Structure formats: structure tokens, C-alpha cells
Amino acid sequence: MFLAAATAPAPPPPPHTGGLLALIPGTAGLLTVAVLGIALLLLLIITFRLQPFVALLTVSIAVGLGAGLSVTELFGTVQKSDVKSMIESGMGGTLGHIAIIIGLGTMLGSILEVSGGGEVLSTRLLNLFGEKRAPLAMGLTGLLFGIPVFFDIGIFVLAPIVYAAAKRGGKSMLLYCLPLLGSLSMTHAFLPPHPGPVAAASLFHVDLGWIILMGLICGIPAVLATWAWAAWIGKRIFVELPQDMAEAADEAKAAVLAEQRAAGVTPQEKPVSLGAVLTIILIPLVLILLSTFSSIALDPSTFRSVIEFFGNPFVALTLALFAAYYLLGIRRGWSRKSLERVSTASLKPIGNILLVVGAGGVFGAVLQGSGVATALSDTFHGVGLPVIVLAWLLSLVLRVAQGSATVAIVTTAGIVLPLVQNQGLSQPHLALIIMAISAGSIFASHVNDGGFWMVAKYFGISERDTLKSWTVLESVLSVAGFAVAALVSSVV
């Protein structure tokens, strides 16, 4: 299937004739609108530093009007409130599915963070593997802790552990931080409940069980490649332990403890159980995967319905959150009020993520409704490249140009969606295309990416050495993840 070029049935002529179509007829006009829209998006984000949500919404409106959509089609009318506008349906259709998943996943990650679950996980792994294999322990810590925790939070929580390991080992900081960073980046790009893969799954209507399975299949070999790169480059570039950041980490930890006390959470004498942390992380993954495979392996029955109920992402994440409340909170003396405060505080930073993803849904809806998506599909069909290659390349170009992985994913998903509709592609194959999009969205993190500066400043790496190490690591992760997705798609 990988070798099959992107094909789409010949669509009827687009019904809209206004906008730029009045000057440039047919497919050429729609392609002009698409190119100008993407150029405008990059201009607004890169040059004018416009917030990505506002930029995506602005471009969606501009593309819609340029392609000939009427104001009523875009915004609806006051008189017919039951008729959803394209913007409302695009935003609501996307957020209606992913907002719950991201919200539950964020609260779960916050409980793991505040309770010290990340510290326990990394410390146990360091003790298990020993000082000589500390980089491997750091990589495994990032791999496990990164599943429910966002990339930046993972760095914040685990950076002090990296400092401690680097201080004991006396080797380059890169040997310890890069395996951790590669793992955190992989989970953030390839696995739910992180916003990128969840948003793409929502647009493509792919079961999250397949996203998890294909994310692991593509992500684990890719992250192993980043660990190998870290071992190679860490022996060639020596980065000293950043004493100022280590001291700042101690101060930050003290500030977190003060915040916990203010929220009614006091430090607990009873340690966090490693088994509890692993159980909480695995609950949603196992339940969702069981649900996915029960629909294939089992005939319709009450037993299958029960499995599918508990494997629904909403239910699975809720159960994991309740398990975290009990195992990491109530059992260790937290009050219910403390749990509520920590959970509520965790939701404040995700507003930007949800709005950007929702605006991506609007962009996709406008591309579909205006006929621009069909024109793009016809053009890509003429190129002759497989869909999975086009998906990776488009995402890669958008990522390198404007820096945001989330923007790259939601924009690419909207463009690629018409290429896969009505093609009879299986859920696993669609999941692999999403993996290609996700892989492209992390290629070559450089100075226009906030993650680049976070890595440089947290671990005391110069800009030049960050380009040599972190930027290349992200490219290795992207290429390796895409290569596995492409290979697997040839047999799925």
C-alpha cells in the first residue's frame, strides 16, 4: 500500500465562483488560494509573531473568502442558529473529541508530577542500572514518564535528576540529557494523550488504540536511534554541568513544595511506590489497546461491550486519574481539597493548546468546504508520491518554517485528509500516515522553536552545540520514525 500513489476520485467542479476564482478559474484558482493561505500563515507567525490560534483563524477566514465561500457559509446566520457555520463545526468537531482526552491526561500528568512520581521513577531506574548506565536510565525515565506528561513539564520535573546523574558521572551533560529529551520528544509526538496525535486521530477518525500501537511500533525504534546518537555526540562535545541551573532547580523545587503547602499538600513520609506509578501509566494504554483488539478478535457480545466500555479513552483516562488520586494522593495523606486544587491548576496552561488545535480543525473544515482540499488532492495525485511521503514532507516543511509542532500537525492533517478519504484505507494504515505527520512535525528543532531554547537554557548548552546535538537528535527521531512508518505501511 505504501507504493500506491496518492489518488482521489475525480470530484465535481467546486460550486463557488467568487473570490480569487473570479480571476483564476478552476483548480488553478483554488491552488493559488491554498499557496497564498499557507504563505500568509507563515508570514503571520514568523514575521508578525502573531499567536498561532489567531493566525490559523485569520488564514482560515481568508482562505474561505478567497475560495468563494459566502459569509453565511463561514459564520452562519443569527436567524438560523440550528445551522452550524463552517467555523463552528470545524472548531466544535475537533475539540468535542480531544478536549476531554487532553484535559484528563493533563490532570493525570500533574498528579504524577506533584506527587514526585517522576523523581521516584528516575531514581529507581538509576539505582537499578547503575552509574555506568545512567544515560539508559534517563532514556527509560523519559519514555515512561513522558507518556502522560507534556514535554516541557517533563524537562522541568526531571532536569534536577539529570544534573545529579551528570555530577556523579563527571561526563558531558549531553550523555545524560539527550536520551531523556529524545524519549520525551517521542512520546509527545507519537503517543496519546498528547495533543498532536490525538488531534490528527480525531480529524482522520482513527481509533486511539491504533495510534498507541503504531506510535509504539514507530516510536521505540526511533527513540533507540536517538539514544545511539546521544552516546556518539556526547563523547565528542563536552558540556559542563550548569551550576547556576542546578542551583535554580533546587530553588524551583523549594518553590514547588511551598506551592504544595499553600494548596494543602504537605510532604509525605510515605514514599511513592514505583509499582503505583507504572500502574497508573499503563492503565489507559492497556485498556485502550484491549478495546481496539477486542473489536477485531471477538464477535459482538456482552463481554466485548464491557471491554470496549472500559477501553473508551474517556473511561480509561478517568480510571487512571482516579487511580492516581488514590495511590499517589489519598493513600499518602492528601486531602480531597488538595487533589481538586492540583487538578484545577493543571488545566490553566492548556487553553492555548486547545485553541490552536481547534483552529486547525477550522482550517481543515474550510479547506474541505471550499474545494481547496480537493484541488490539492488532485495536484498531489499528479505528483505520484505515496500519501505517507507527502504527509511527512508537508509536516516537515511547515515545522522547519514556523517552529510549532502542533501547528505543523493540525495544518498538515487538514491538507492530507482529502487524500485518504474514500480510499478504503484501513485504520492501521491511517494511523501510520498520522505517525508520518507527527514525525515530520519534530524535524530539525532550531531557533524558531521554543523547545530549542528550553533545552539550551535548562542544560547549559551553547546555541552552536544545541544545533549540533539537539537539532540533529530531533531530525534523527523524525527520519527514523517516518522510515519505520513507511516500512510498516508497505505490509499493512
Q: Indicate if the pLDDT at residue 82 is higher than 70.
A: no
Q: Indicate if the pLDDT at residue 14 is higher than 80.
A: no
Helices 26-42 and 405-420 pack at an angle, to 10 degrees, of: 160
SS (H, E, C) 345-406: HHHHHHHHHHHHHHHHHHHHHHHHHHCHHHHHHHHHHHHCCEHHHHHHHHHHHHHHHHCCHH
238-257 pLDDT per residue, tens:
999 887 665 655 565 565 56
How many domains does the chain divide into? 1
In a domain, 484, yes or no: no
485 burial (CB, 10 Å; 0-12 / 13-18 / 19+) is buried
Percent of residues, the chain, with pLDDT higher than 70: 87
In a domain, 185, yes or no: yes
pLDDT at 8: 39
In a domain, 162, yes or no: yes
Average per-residue pLDDT in the chain?
87
The verdict on pTM exceeding 0.75 is: yes
Q: Indicate if the pLDDT at residue 224 is higher than 80.
A: yes
117-148 pLDDT per residue, tens:
888 899 899 999 988 899 999 999 999 999 99
- The answer to whether 293 touches 256, Cβ cutoff 8 Å, is no
pLDDT at 257: 62
pLDDT at 428: 97
In a domain, 416, yes or no: no
DSSP string, 169-231: H-S-HHHHHHHHHHHHHHHHHHSTTSHHHHHHHHHHT--HHHHHHHHHHHHHHHHHHHHHHHH
pLDDT at 278: 94
**Which three-class secondary structure state does DSSP give residue 272?**
coil
pLDDT at 248: 58
331-343 pLDDT per residue, tens:
888 888 888 988 9
SS (H, E, C) 42-88: HHHHHHCCCCHHHHHHHHHHHHHHHCCCCHHHHHCCCCCCCCCCHHH
Q: 5 pairs with which residues across the strands?
A: 386
User: Which whole number is the average pLDDT over 199-207?
Assistant: 94
User: Which whole number is the average pLDDT over 426-450?
Assistant: 96
DSSP string, 115-161: TTHHHHHHHHHHHHH-STTHHHHHHHHHHHHTTTS-HHHHHHHHHHH
pLDDT band with cut points at 50, 70 and 90 for residue 270 = low
Radius of gyration of the chain (CA): 23
In a domain, 99, yes or no: yes
In a domain, 173, yes or no: yes
22-26, 415-419, 447-451, 470-474: lowest mean pLDDT where?
A: 22-26
The better pLDDT of the pair 160, 463 is held by 463
Give backbone dihedrals phi and psi of 476, rounded to 5 degrees, phi first.
Answer: -60, -45
Percent of residues, the chain, with pLDDT higher than 90: 57
In a domain, 110, yes or no: yes
The better pLDDT of the pair 1, 293 is held by 293
342-393 pLDDT per residue, tens:
899 889 888 889 999 999 989 988 988 888 878 887 787 777 789 999 999 9
- The answer to whether 370 touches 68, Cβ cutoff 8 Å, is yes
Instruction: Find the domain containing 237 and state its range.
Output: 93-349
CA-to-CA distance for 373 and 422, rounded, in angstroms? Answer: 14
